[in-house]
Each structure stands twice: as C-alpha cells, then as structure tokens.
Amino acid sequence: MDVDLDFQTGDAGASATFPTQCSSLRKNGFVVLKGRPCKIVEMSTSKTGKHGHAKVHMVGIDIFTSKKYEDICPSTHNVDVPNVKRNDYQLIGITDGYLSLMTDGGEVREDLKLAETDLGKEILQKYDAGEDLVVTVLHAMNEEAAISIKPLAKQ
Amino acid sequence: MAALSAAEVIAQLESAAKVLMAPPSMVSHEQRQHAEHIFLSFRKSKSPFAVCKHILETSKVDYVLFQAATTIMEAVVREWVLLEKNSIESLRTFLLTYVLQRPNLQKYVREQILLAVAVIVKRGSLDKTIVCNSIFHEVSHLISSGNPAVQTLACSILTALLSEFSSSTKTSNIGLSMEFHGSCKRIFQEDDLRQIFVLTVEVLQEFSRRENLSAQMSSVFQRYLALANQVLSWNFLPPNLGRHYIAMFESSQNVMLKPTESWRETLLDSRVMDLFFTVHRKIREDSDMAQDSLQCLAQLASIHGRIFPDERAQVDYLAHFIEGLLNMINGIEIEDSEAVGISSVLSNLISEFPRSILTAIPSELFSSFINCLTHLTCSFGRSAALEEVTTNGVTTRDEEEISEVQEDDREMFSDQLASIGMLGRISADHCIPLLISLLEDRVTRLHGQLQRQQQQFLSSPGPATLDNKVLDDLYEDIHWLLLVTGYLLADDTQGETPLIPPEIMEYSIKNATEVDINTTLQILGSPGEKASSIPGYNRTDSVIRLLAAVLRASEVESRATRANLTELLSPQMGKDIMWFLKRWTKTYLLVDEKLYDQISLPLSTAFGADTEGAQWIVGYLLEKVMSNLSVWIAEQDLANDTVQLLVTLVERRERANLVIKCESWWNLAKQYASRSPPLNYLPSSVQRTLMKALVLAGFAHVDTETKQQYWTEVLQPLQQRFLNVINQENFQQICQEEEVKQEIIATLEALCGIAEATQIDNVAILFTFLMDFLNNCIGLMEIYKNTPETVNLIIEVFVEVAHKQICYLGESKAMKLYEACLTLLQVYSKNSLGRKRTDVAAEEEQYQDLLLIMELLTNLLSKEFIDFSDTDEVFRGQESGQPGNRSVSAADVVLYGVNIVLPLMSQDLLKFPSLCNQYYKLITFICEIFPEKIPQLPEELFKSLMYSLELGMTSMTSEVSQLCLEALTPLAETCAKAQEAESALFAATRHFLKLVFDMLVLQKHNAELTDAAGEAFYTLVCLHQAEYSELVETLLSSQQDPVIYQRLADAFNNLTGSSTPPTLDRKQRMAFLKSLKDFMANVGGLLCVK
C-alpha cells in the first residue's frame, strides 16, 4: 500500500485515507486496494488449517475506473480506507468542457471537467435541453467524478 | 413438413443430426440452433407414427432413431384420445419387436424406445385399454431363453417400467396430473411390481446356484441384482395421499421398505432373505455388486408396516434375519468396501424394529447380536477415524485452506457427537472421570508447551523454532474433548428450558456422599492452578470438576494472551470454549430445584440461586468475555460465539440480575458506549448482538436507582451522541466527513441491535426510545440521499423495528410506526425517482434497497395476521385506544407504500430472483387478505398492479406464476360480490379469463400449476360466463380437423356443459376442479401441436 497517500491532504485538510482493522470492514464499504480507492463488493474469510487464524479476502472495484482488485490479508492487519465524499451541486453552466457547479451555499466551482462518458453526454444533452440538474460528485484520494444526476426538485 | 416425403424428412433430420453431432468448431451457433429447431418442430408434428416407424426401419443414424422414439412417445400421449386402441397396441408391439430384433442398437436408443413402451403402458393403465400382463408374459419368455443378450433386454424392459411408474414427480413429463401418476403407481405396486420382483428373484436364484459364471453371465446377474434393489427400494405410496403430500413423500431420501399387505407371502418367505445372504456371500469380492446386494439386505432389514400380521411374525422375521446376518458376518473377513453397507443393514434393523421386538428374539441370539454390533461399531469407528487421518492428515497450520463456508465440527458432526454424548451419559461412571483426566492432562501439557515457547522467545527473539505440530495436536485433542464434554453434559434445546440430563444428575447424587463440597468449590474457584495440586482433589464432585477442567483450558488461553502469545493460540479452541460455556450456562447456572425430582447437593451448592458459586462464575465468565472482545476482535466467529454467550447470560432475568451486579459488566457497557477501540472494530453483526445483550441486561430486577443509572450509562450516551451530531448547525456541511459518517453508521447499527432485543415485557420502553430515532432517521435519509451505504442501513433499521415490534403495538403506536415508515418511503422515492446513477454497484444497491423495502412492507402487513396487542396489554396505562376498531389498517398502509415504490421497480430489477419473489409474495398477500381494497386504488397504481400480475403469470418462474394465480381468485370473488359490471377490476378480470384460458388450453401446461390455475379459472368463468362461452366458440370454430373439433367440443361439454350455470358454491367448484383434471388429461397439449 502506498504510504504516502496517507499524508496527501484533501480539500478540508483531512487526510485522504485512514487506517482501520481489516476485520471491521464491511461489504458495500470502501478500502484502498493497490493504491486505488475501491468499493468492497465481496468479502470472505478463511483460515489455514483448523487451528489457524483468520484471513480476509476482499474483492473491490475502483470507484473511478471500475477496475477490479483483490487482496488477502490477516484479519488483524490494518488496511487503509479512503475518505469518500459525495457532494451535490446544482449545474449552472458548461463552458469549454468544464462544469459550473453551485453548492447550496451559493459557492461556485468551475474546475470539474465534463467527462466523456455516457453520463457526461447525458449531462450535456439535458443541459442543452434546458433541464435543471443536480449533479452528485464523488471525491476520494484527490480524484473526483460526477456519478449521478437528478432533475432539480421544483420548489 | 406435410409437403415433404418420408425420404425427404429423413434426409433433413439426418443432416440436422450431423450438425448437432459435429464438434463445436465445425458449425456455427446459428447452424446448431437451426438443427435443434428442426428436431423440436419434428417432435411436435401431427400423427408422426408412420414416418417414425419408417425412420426406425431405415435410418442408420442413431441420434435420429433416438429422436424418432421420443417423437412417438410424446405424440402417443398428446393424441391419445384420437388414436384407436388397437393402433396403440400395435405400436407398442412394433416397438418391442423392433428392439428384440436389433440386439446391436445403441444403448441410449434402446433405452429411449423402451421408455416409450413404458409410457404407453402407463398411459394405458388409466383407461384399462392395455394390460400389463401381456408384457410380463413376453418378458418371462425372454428370461427363460437362457440367452444373456435377450435376458439383458428383458431386464431393461422391466427397469424401464419400474422407473416410469416409480415416481410421480421424476416421471417423464407427459403433461398428466400428479393424481394420475399417483393412482398409476398404486395400481402398479399392488400387482405388477410384485411380478417383477418374483421374476427377478427367480433369475437370482438361478444364478446363485451356478458354479462358474462367465463374464457375460455375471453382467446379467449384476443387472438383475440392481433391479431387485430398485424393487426393494420402492417408495410404497399409501392410499389417499393428497397431491402435495405425494410430492413431499416422494422427495424423502432414505426410503424404508414399507410394502402393502399383498406382499406378505412374497417378502415374508424366509427363502427370499436367505437368497440375498447367499447372493452376497457369492459376489462380495466384486465391490460394485456387493453394494447392490448389501443395499438389498439393508432394505430387507428396514421392512415394517402392515405386511406383518402380528408381532409374532415380526419377531420371527427379525430372528431369522439376524441369524442369517450373523452367519454371514462371522464367516468372513469384512472388506473395507462392505463397511458402509453392513452398517446400514444394522442401522436399519435397529431403527425400524421396535425395542420390544428386538428383545423378544431368543436371548442367546440377542446377546450375540449385541456383541457383534458393539464389535463392529468400534472397529468401523476406528477405521473411519484412521482413514480421516490418512486422507486429510492431522490438520496443521500449514495445510489446507479452510473457507468460512465450511461448517464447524460441532455442526458437521452433531449426529455423531450426540450419540457419543448419549453413550457417555449412560456410562457416566466410566466416561466422566475419563474426560476429566484427559482434559486436565492436555490442558497441563498445553500450558507447559506454551511456557516453553515463551521462554524460547525470551532467550532468542525472532521467528519461532519450535515445531508447531505439538501445539496443533494438543489443540486438536482439546477441541474434540470440549465438543464431547459439551454434548455429554448438556442438550442444545430450542425454545424449551434445558434440563440437566437425568443420568448426570443421578451420577452426581450417587457420588455425593464421597464428596467434600469445600474442596470441590476450591477446585472450581482456582482455574489458574493444577487440579492435582489441591489437597483432597480426589474427593470432588466430578461433574463440577469437569467444568473446572474447561475453565482451566480457558485460563491457560487467557494467560497466554496476557503474555502476548496470542499468535500461538488456536481461535478454534477459543470458539469451543465459548460454545461449551454457553451450553453449560443455559443448563447449569442457577439450577432451578423446582424442575427436578431430586437434586444433587454439590450442584445446587455450587450453581444454585443465591450462591457465591453462581455469582463467582458469572464474574469469571464476564472477565473472559471482556478479554475475548479485546483479544479476538479480528476472529469474527469467535467474537460471535463470545457475544452469544453474553446474550445467554442476560436473556433470563435471574441470570441478568447477577450480571448487572458485576463491575466488569458496567465497564463493558461504558466502553461500548464510548465507541473506542477495540470494541468499535468488531464486525457489525457482532456489535449488534453486543448491543442486544446490553439492552437485555437493562431489564434485570434491580432497584429503580440502579436501573436509571444503567440506562444513563447505556442508552442515553447513544441518544446524546446522536443528537449532538445531527443538531450541529453545520451538520449539512460536515455530514460527509468521515468521523461524522462513522458516528451515524455506528448509531444505526446500535439501533438494529436494540430492536433485536425486543421482548414482550420491554417493548413499551424500547418502542418509545426507538421512535424518537426513527423520526430523526427520516431527516438523515434526506441528508444522505446521495450516500447509498447509509440509505440502505437506515431502511434496515426500520425493517428491524417493524419486524420485532409491530405485532405488540396497539393502535396509536402502530399508527406512529406506519406514519414513520410511509414518510421514509416518500423521502426515498422522491430522492430516487429520476436519479441516474453510474457509480459502481449502483444496480446492486438499488436492488438491496428495494428488497429491504419489500421486507418492510411485508413486516407491516404481518400485523394483519399476527397481532398480540389486544390480548397482551403491554402498553397498559399508556394506551387508551379501543382495540379491534382500527381506523387505518396495515393493508392501507402497505398499499400506499406499494404505490410509492412501484415506480422504482424496473423490469430489470425484477430479474433479481429474491426481489421478484418478495415483491410477488407481497402483492399476493394483499390481494388475498384485502381484495376489497384493490378496486379503490388510484388508477395508476391499480393499472401497475394488474400489469404486475399479468407479467408474473406469463413471464416469470412457475413459483411466481402460482402466486399470481392465487391472487386472481379473491379478486374475482370480490368482483362477483360487488356486482359492478363497469368497474376497472371487472374489466381486468375479463382480461385475466382470457389469459388463464390460454394458459390451460393452448400452452404447454405445467402440471404443478393446475390447482391454482383451476381455482382462478373457475371463479373467472363464473364471473364472465358469456365471455367464456365466446372463447370456447372461437376456439372450436378455428378447428379444421373434424376429429379434433369433436374431441374438443366433448371435452368442453364435460367440463362446463351442465345446464345449471356455474356459481361460487364450494361443491360445484370442487366438481369443476375434478373435471378440469380429466379435461387436461384428454385435451391438454392437444392444441399446442404445430
């Protein structure tokens, strides 16, 4: 595991990851596998011989690239868990391939690129059609991506 | 296909067969599909008999021959009513002769043709047109030919008949009802089966007399032996067994021989069993055949039921059998391969013959039998254990990987352990001291070994050099000693109060005069010392000393963890200790004298109510639990066994009273409330159980002040921490911070644990406490709408609360919960509708949410049929509602809930089988319990529901289809009662009539659904008589073939042609259902012909 990542700081000054004991991980939770933030999609334990100690086998999917990673480690060991944040923004514009996003508090950021994914295309299409959208942005280990959209609720 | 000549048909089929038989690389997927299609449509062609005969006579391609046989078989059943009886007869003769004349046919072709013969015979037995006897006549001719090939064929014919008749469920799918298969089987087992058996026995007799058997002969011998085994393993169907029971009955695995009375002369003839003993002696060196002959003997050993006219007959049979068996066994050296067979012979004898019969045989014979039994049990047991060791090796740390799915030995070997425990109790005098000395010895050695390892660490730090094998062997011994001790000392009861086994109680009482109570207590109270170091250690109560030996094992473990030797310990042993102590606690701790006729003084002095011993041991157990929960947090199973022990300690008030007096318990509660390591690292399921235990202890009988203080330590911090987090002004901004999320998740987990602790006597307090949280959780649902893990957990909290509490709630409380649930669903729906997610696992998470929501709604609905709130006044003084007069029913709530979530159920999500089943179970429930609510639903919801039903009926699994059909009957009945001809439900039922009609008449019908479909069909017909007549007319008028037209018209006439119009009267309904079965037998499948 890449130790350096622990000390890279995110936006709020918190570390990008924190350690926890392997046994406390849960399915649907997050873990750093091979230096990448992953969602745990499978977890099982095994032991070597009847009187051996437990080992945890994890399968995770990279939350940004959807690549699959696996790892096995003694359940007493510590593993890193990424600090994962999801923030909702209102989409207020798209300029030069960048999204203009506004928080509830009215702050605007324009540093998130419109990805060339199906979701990206849909965002563009809906924006062009004049729909008001809320975009959820996933943030972990200094990476960000839009992961879901929803029409803005009418007040 | 009609346009093609027979020769062309054959050419087409042969080339299709070539494609199918070609290696995968040679043909494309499309070619293969096309070829399959050719065969499938050929099998559906009308009256294919002439062309099939032609194929059988001319084609050289085996696969085509096979398909021709299949086609004949299917067509005969399908067109049965259209065929002349003598043409069926000649078809059968043709097939038999065909096989006889072609000894070199491929085996699979021959078997298929014989299967077709068997199916014809079976279908014929329904209308008595074909008599089985002629077949047996032919077969006995074949057997007497003396030609092995012909005899083999005869055996195949009998085997085919036997398998076709043997089961109503695994039979060829010829579209007939379970009753039909059942009654065929009953007729068959009375007469024809016995004929088969007699023929078989004759053959076996003949062979057993011969001296030298050629290889060919011996193979014929083997086949008949296998056939005899099949007959003796016949699952005799009792008379008058309903459809559902037939299926259940026939799914039973080990069939014991329970023939009808008509078999008396055949089977009670002692020459029959003698024959099988002789046969076995003759062929026992051939392990394949020996398996069959032993199985025959095992079946004969299991014989019971009305075949015995009286007890005398049963005793005679048994005595003769045992004599034969002992002669057989004593004359031979038993082969390993015979062990299983001989064991099942013995086991069947013991389990099927009542004790009184067994002891009524001549006493000399009886004691030889028991000696033989003992000898074999010990020697087989030893061999089995040795085999285990040689094949698996003594398990060591470096060997095989064991996955979590593998059962623990205590479950995997529970049968064996229960027997060992039982034997141990019977000879307690011998076994308890033996267990004590073995356990004390191994524990002392373990202690020594661990000390040596530690000294080695200290003198030369670094990797361990000592061999772990010594430790592993000790762990393995202790593991089994603990399991055996646990099974010997106590039973695992569910729902009952576990009692000290009488043998153990007597043993303790019997030796009480020799016992020094003080020394006994001293041995118990000093687990850190060697038992033999205590003066007078031999004058102690052995039952207590056995427990003390386990505590010594536990103490060695605890000390090793304190000396940082955890790495060397076996988590398995840790689990065993926890498991043992839990089992022991349930039975022995605070032994209740009222439950026993006589009580042992040492036991009541050591563990009785208000004894120092009991308080001491509770304290000791709690210390151990605390130690485990800090040392073994990473071993989930062990941690789980540990918290289970904790639950056992507090789930009964009397024990909880002692627990709550212990300081360590309060420490545990405080530590857990502070959410600090190590407890917060425990796996979530373990944390929930821990929370459950903490809550349960709060209902111990203590003074109000203590109780108040306890709640202040346990529940209030939870509430306080939660409120502190969510009431922060900037909560919305910081809600994604990791610490905040963890705090929230920990709270939600704890709430699930609290709900789990619900009991009838605490629900009033817990409900009030949880309700505050539930309302706050709805707010959380809004805040965390983009955080699926949290959303999922919030729903789970609601599911748990509803599951554990709804049945106890009175009206106003139930209303509160309903309201909270509905608001939750509204928020969920608002936040999910229109959202498009592309994150990983999005679909999986939506599926999990909806599954939980379905579960929640089902839990709420369960209030309609499980409701304790009126009889048990658990909220007395709190509630002033009038019972039985609810303004809002659970059904209203659930329907409203369905309305909210239905738009979220996509057809893709319904592809998850568990979600699909849960959804359909829910809507069927609603339709069955509250059909009158359905017509009042909002239009959109009504439409969606009806569409769901249609979809479920037509394009899901048969289980779902059955559920939907079951939902239709009450809906149609509601309509009939309301008599509103223009309601939407009325129109919908009209549409369903057509669907069910098509399902029964036009599609290949699944016989399992006939009952449900029939019920629905009848009610719908009553409701829409004119439309039904129209459907029948349309169908008839589209028939061009006059023969089919007439058959159909007759069938419909028999079904619904009576002069009185059908009504919703039970008698009429039953009559209809009965005629429907005939209808299905006569024309079912007739119309799905191409």
Is residue A105, in this structure, part of any structural domain at all?
A: yes
Q: Cα–Cα–Cα angle for B252, B255, B261, nearest 5°?
A: 120
Is residue A78 located within the same domain as residue A88? no
A99 with A60, same domain: the answer is no
The pLDDT-based confidence of B394 (bands split at 50, 70, 90) is very low
**Residue A1 predicted with pLDDT over 80:** no
Average pLDDT over residues B927-934: 87
The values of phi and psi at residue B178, to 5°, are -60, -40
Higher-pLDDT residue of B342, B701: B342
Is B681 close to A12, i.e. CB distance below 8 A? no
B954 or B64, higher pLDDT: B64
For B423-438, what is the mean pLDDT? 96
Please give the Cα distance from B130 to B134 (Å, whole number). 9
A24 and A73 belong to one structural domain: yes
Please give the average per-residue pLDDT across B561-585, as a whole number: 96
Cβ-based contacts of B399 with chain A (< 8 Å) = 48-49
Chain B contact present for A117, CB below 8 A: yes
Confidence of residue B315 (pLDDT cuts 50, 70, 90): very high
Question: Which pLDDT score is estimated for B882?
Answer: 45
The pLDDT, as a whole number, for residue B1035 is 87
Asked whether the predicted pLDDT for residue B132 surpasses 70, the reply is no
Total count of domains within chain A: 2
Task: State the pLDDT confidence band at B978, using cuts at 50, 70 and 90.
Answer: confident
- Average pLDDT in the B321-326 region? 96
| Residue B336 pLDDT class (50, 70, 90 cuts) | confident
Residues A137 and A102 reside in one and the same domain: yes
Average pLDDT over residues A4-30: 71
Dump pLDDT digits (tens) for B88-99: 888 988 998 999
Closest CA of chain B from A95, distance in Å: 23
Enumerate residues 6+ apart whose C-beta is below 8 A from B1048: B1035, B1036, B1039, B1083, B1086, B1087
A11 occurs within a structural domain: no
Burial B1009-1045 (b: 16+ CB within 10 A, else e): bbbbbbbbbbbbbbbbeebbeebbeebeeeeeeeebe
Whether the pLDDT of residue B900 is over 50: the answer is yes
Comparison of pLDDT for B243 and B566, the residue scoring more: B566
Structural domain includes residue A59:
yes
Q: Which of A45, A104, A150 sits opposite B404 (nearest CB)?
A: A45
CB burial string A66-94: b at 16+ within 10 A, e below: eeebebeeebbeebbbbbbbbbebbbeee
**Spatial CB neighbours of B136, under 8 Å, sequence gap ≥ 6:** B192, B195, B196, B199
Same-domain pairing of A96 and A137: yes
Residue B60 structure tokens: 């050289």
Whether B127 shows a pLDDT value over 80: the answer reads no
Residue the block writes with tokens 């202040």: B712
| pLDDT mean over B1003-1018 | 82
Is B838 in CB contact (< 8 Å) with chain A?
yes
CB pairs under 8 A between A and B: 140
Mutate to test the interface with B, among A15, A20, A51 (most CBs of B within 10 A): A51
Q: Indicate the pLDDT class of residue B514, thresholds 50, 70 and 90.
A: very high
Instruction: Please write the tens of the pLDDT for every residue from B762-785.
Output: 898 999 999 999 999 999 999 999
Q: Is the pLDDT of residue B1081 over 80?
A: no
pLDDT of residue B701: 84
User: Residue A128 sits in a domain of what CATH number?
Assistant: 2.40.50.140
Q: Which residue carries 């690389």 as its tokens?
A: B25
pLDDT in tens, B232-245: 999 888 877 665 56
User: Cα angle at B42 between B37 and B46, to 5 degrees?
Assistant: 140
Window A:75-104, CB contacts with B under 8 Å: 75-76, 83, 85-88, 104
Comparing CA positions, the residue from B584, B600, B579 lying closest to residue B502 is B600
Q: Which residues on adjacent β-strands are paired with residue A80?
A: A19
Contact (CB<8Å) A150/B472: no
- Nearest alpha carbon to residue B1078 among B1059, B1054, B1043: B1054
Whole-angstrom Cα distance, residue B6 to residue B781?
Answer: 71
pLDDT score of B790 more than 90: yes
Best of B399, B730, B738 to mutate (most A CBs within 10 Å, chain A): B738
DSSP assignment of chain A: --GGGGG-B-TTS-BSEEEEEGGG--TTSEEEETTEEEEEEEEEEEEESTTPPEEEEEEEEETTT--EEEEEEETTSEEEEE-EEEEEEEEEEEETTEEEEE-TTS-EEEEEE--SSHHHHHHHHHHHTT--EEEEEEEETTEEEEEEEEEPPP-
Contact A57, A45 (CB under 8 A): yes
Q: Are residues A88 and A137 in the same domain?
A: yes
Cα–Cα distance measured from residue B356 to residue B300, given in angstroms and rounded to the nearest whole number: 19
pTM of the model: 0.78
Q: Is the pLDDT of residue B172 over 70?
A: no
Q: Give the closest residue to A127 by CA, choosing from A155, A87, A100.
A: A100
- Residue B738 and residue A83 in contact, taking contact as beta carbons nearer than 8 Å: yes
**B398 contacts chain A (CB < 8 A):** yes
Nearest CA in chain A to B574: A51
Residues 591-610 of B with CB under 8 A from A: none
- Same structural domain, A71 and A89: no
Judgement on whether residues A72 and A92 belong to the same structural domain of the protein:
no
| Interchain pair A51, B399: CB under 8 A | no
pLDDT for B180 beyond 90? no
- Whole-angstrom Cα distance, residue B153 to residue B157? 6
Going by their DSSP bridges, the two strands B836-837 and A143-151 should be labelled as antiparallel
Query: A108 and A75: one domain?
Result: no
**Percent of chain A scored above 90 by pLDDT?**
77
- Region B307-327: what's the mean pLDDT? 95
Rounded mean pLDDT of B89-112?
90
How far is Cα B617 from Cα B120, in angstroms, rounded to an integer? Answer: 73
In a domain, A1, yes or no: no
| Boundary-marking domain end, from A61, A82, A103 | A82
Binned at pLDDT 50, 70 and 90, residue B169 comes out as low
* Domain endpoint, select from A47, A82, A117: A82
B462: pLDDT strictly greater than 70: no
Whether residues A94 and A134 fall in one domain: yes
Chain A environment of B789 (Cβ under 8 Å): 28-29
User: Do the domain assignments include residue A2?
Assistant: no
Query: pLDDT band at A5, cuts 50/70/90?
Result: very low
Res B129 pLDDT > 90: no
pLDDT digits (tens, 9 = 90+) for A52-95: 999 999 999 999 999 999 999 999 999 999 999 999 999 999 99
- Does some domain include residue A9? no
Domain boundary (A52, A82, A112) is at: A82
Please give the pLDDT value at position B1042. Answer: 80
What is the pLDDT, as a whole number, of residue B692? 96
Residues in contact with A37: Cβ distance below 8 Å, sequence separation at least 6, in sequence order: A30, A62, A63, A64, A82, A84, A140, A141, A143
Among all chains, which residue has been given the structure tokens 């190590």? B678
Q: Are residues A97 and A122 in the same domain?
A: yes
pLDDT band for A14, please (50, 70, 90 cuts). low
Cβ separation of B395 and A21 shorter than 8 Å?
A: no
Residues A78 and A101 in one domain: no
Q: Which domain range does residue A54 map to?
A: 17-82
CATH classification at residue A34? 2.30.30.30
> To probe the interface with B, which of A47, A62, A91, A133 has the most B CB atoms within 10 Å?
A47
Residues in chain B: 1090
Q: What's chain B's average pLDDT?
A: 88
pLDDT in tens, B839-898: 888 888 999 999 999 999 999 988 877 888 754 445 554 444 444 444 567 887 888 888
Classify B809 as helix, strand or coil: coil
For residue B1027, what are the contacts with CB-CB under 8 A and spacing of at least 6?
B990, B993, B994
Q: What is the pLDDT of residues B467-512, one digit of tens each?
A: 678 999 999 999 999 999 999 999 988 878 899 999 999 999 999 9
Residues of A in contact with B844 (CB under 8 A): 41
In a domain, A6, yes or no: no
Residue A136 domain-assigned (yes or no): yes
Give the pLDDT band (50/70/90) at residue A9.
very low
Q: Which residue of A has its CA nearest to B633?
A: A23
- The pLDDT of residue B929 is 86
Give yes or no for residue B1074 having a pLDDT over 70.
Answer: yes
